[in-house]
Structure 1
Amino acid sequence: MATIYEVSKLAGVSLATVSRVMNNNAKVSDKTKQKVLDAMNELGYRPNATARSLASNRSDSVGILVSELHGPFFGQMMAGIESELRTAGKHVIITTGHSEEEKEKDGIEFLIGRNCDAIIAHVEAVSDEYIVELNKGKTPIYLMSRFVEELADKCISLDNELGGYLATSAIIEQGHKDIAYIAGPQFKADASNRLLGHKRALAENGIVFNEDLFFIGDFKETGGSSGLKHFIKQKHTFSALVCANDEMASGAMKYAREHGYTLPDDLSVIGFDNVIFANYLYPTLTTIDNPVNQMGVMAAKLVLKEVYQRKKLEIKRVFEPSVITRDSIALATN
């Protein structure tokens, strides 16, 4: 089997030049590139990933760390990242952190140990200081759905505070004043920022935030059902429910129907994320669009631009949410 060294000798060029040809580097002239390609063809040489890695000091692989593998949110995120990188001839290695500090650190160390050229991470438990320090190493870390000021150029994030504000504003615009809120875990920045937006919308409309109508869920269906069960058991009066993500909204809607509520006449509901099933719930769920697939594509483009030196890639680092109006909100009757 021919080797990269034999290709270099036959073509009369350096190993570095063969590497540039193998990695489609624009710095190689067409004449030189053709000499290398001719040598490859004559020798029957087919570069594999290991050879490319040795020649370019790159593994052509990017690590992806996400909180979970289940659910549509992370599926859309990973699909956006993988499709963009695969089109560029790169591969992904995926692991999970389960929103636990030690598991997130372990996942990052695992990806670094696999010689990934970069890591795209959706991390929630590790500190900003840890991430900043980590980026001083040889493997750059890019953040999904999280903003760290010191690493602003390596973050792809959503304005979650604005999203929370838009969600509650959409409810208030329909005349609702008694509004319950099921939040996500407050150690997660996206959840705490969505709550800030909710409170801002209430304050701007002269509505006092009611602790009795506040529940911290788990970003899963169980959080939505548990939250609504809590409010009903406490006999709190409310005509609308804002949920910090669509999974909790779906759990709350299911629990509401099972307990005699007609939606949206008895209870208006809004979610957050606009995951694929939101349009198939009954009633279809009004929600906040979180373009996580597009954000995943953008994170991949950022890696391609900064790590692999791909030119002419426009990078958008902060995405804005928007309201997706469907059928789960009705006009208030009071």
Structure 2
Amino acid sequence: MRFLTLVAVFLAFLTGLAQAGPDIWRNEWPRTNFAINSVDNWSEILDGGPPRDGIPAISDPRFLRARNETRINEAEPVMTVEIGKATPRAYPIRYLTYHEIINDIVGGIPIAVTFCPLCNSGITFDRRTAKGTLSFGVSGKLRHSDMVMYDRETESWWQQATGEAIVGDLTGARLRMLPGWMESWGQFRARNPDGLVMAQPGFSRHYGRNPYAGYDSRNRPMFFSGEMPPHGISPLARVVRVGRRAWPLSRIRVQGGLQEAGVSISWEAGQASALDNAVIARGRDVGTVRVRDSRGRDVVHDVMFAFAFHAFWPDGIWMVGR
């Protein structure tokens, strides 16, 4: 995560506004082709504090059986990946908070499990592209408060929320998103007692702590100066994004789930917010969402903050009900 106090982060934000642009980044990124990009305004991309790889992505993570894991509280969130007949895997948010990207291989498929704390966006990508299999790191840059990833092969920059390359030789390429979801550790373990859970990385970090205590109760997001979402929706309210549609989580929670636009969205209590209390396990209960199609198959989705959905899908459809 970004090891700064809120005051220092705000100062870094002001500095980024004044200095954003390729001219100041070329020394750090000599292999990135800035001449090819899809960025309308370079001031949208800011330095988030830590430099390139200052937030170290993980490759080749270690795992242990779910029944043998004792560090993680029942309510703590994990990102779940189930691919084919491969043993289900859980990637705890307590680790993703400090690493943001996990490069792994599941069922023979190279994947990147990603989590951007500032947008609450958790997405799993297939790392295979037309240009070969990529591995990803954290650039230290933010766009609309969302993590900008980079691939180590071409050093192109990728938007985490959309999976699209926005700067460099691979600009315009898109990563395939894989079905996955965030749930509580207790929910994963109850369903998969013989499943695998990522083991604690060998870094000196305060795993289990939330560096942004109270963040998802703020009036405005950090590192963001864009338009706020419509319909009176709080910018840091969670929404369930499926394609270009967004359902307010509050609506899903009140209704206990719903069926609309060809998908079934369920909600179950028991998952702590990773961005509330200073101790992740003590975060308020935001519940677990699953999205399935008419045949019961898991559907690609993201539970992200409303401001980020509006920033990346300004013409998106808001499923606010009647």
Q: Identify, as 1 or 2, the structure richer in helix.
A: 1
Task: Please classify the TM superposition score into its range, dividing by the shorter chain length.
Answer: under 0.3
Provide the TM-score with structure 1 as the length reference. 0.23
Higher strand share: 2
Q: Which has the larger radius of gyration?
A: 1
